[in-house]
Amino acid sequence: MSWFADLEDLVASAVAVTGYGEDLAARHLAADGRIDAAAPGWTGRSAAALAERAARWSAVSTALVTRIGEHAQDLHTCANVYGSTEEQRARALAELPNLP
C-alpha cells in the first residue's frame, strides 16, 4: 500500500483550518457580546433563562473553537513531520551507492 500527500496542500489545509478557527472565535465572541448587551433588558425568569442558555452556548463555543484549534495544530504538525521525513528520506536515498 502506498500513500502520497502533497506537502503544499497539507500546509494550505493547516492554514485554512487555522483561519476558520479564528473566524469562528471572532464571530462567537461577537455573539457573546450581543447577548451580554441585551441581557440588562431581560428580567426575572427570562433573564435567568437567557443567562443559563448563554452560559451553555459559551461552553459549547469554547469547546468547538478549542477543537478546531487542535485540528489546525495537528495539521501543522503533520506538515512539519511529513516535510522533515521527506528531506531525511531524500538525503538517505542520495547517499546510496550507485549500483550497476
Give the DSSP per-residue string, the chain: ------HHHHHHHHHHHHHHHHHHHHHHHHHHHHHHHHGGG--HHHHHHHHHHHHHHHHHHHHHHHHHHHHHHHHHHHHHHHHHHHHHHHHHHHTSPPP-
Residue 87 has pLDDT above 80, yes or no: yes
The structural domains of the chain, ordered by start, are 7-94 (1.10.287)
What is the C-alpha to C-alpha distance for residues 49 and 37, in angstroms, rounded to an integer?
A: 15
Q: What whole-number percentage of the chain has pLDDT above 90? A: 86
Residue 99 has pLDDT above 80, yes or no: no
pLDDT of residue 100: 66
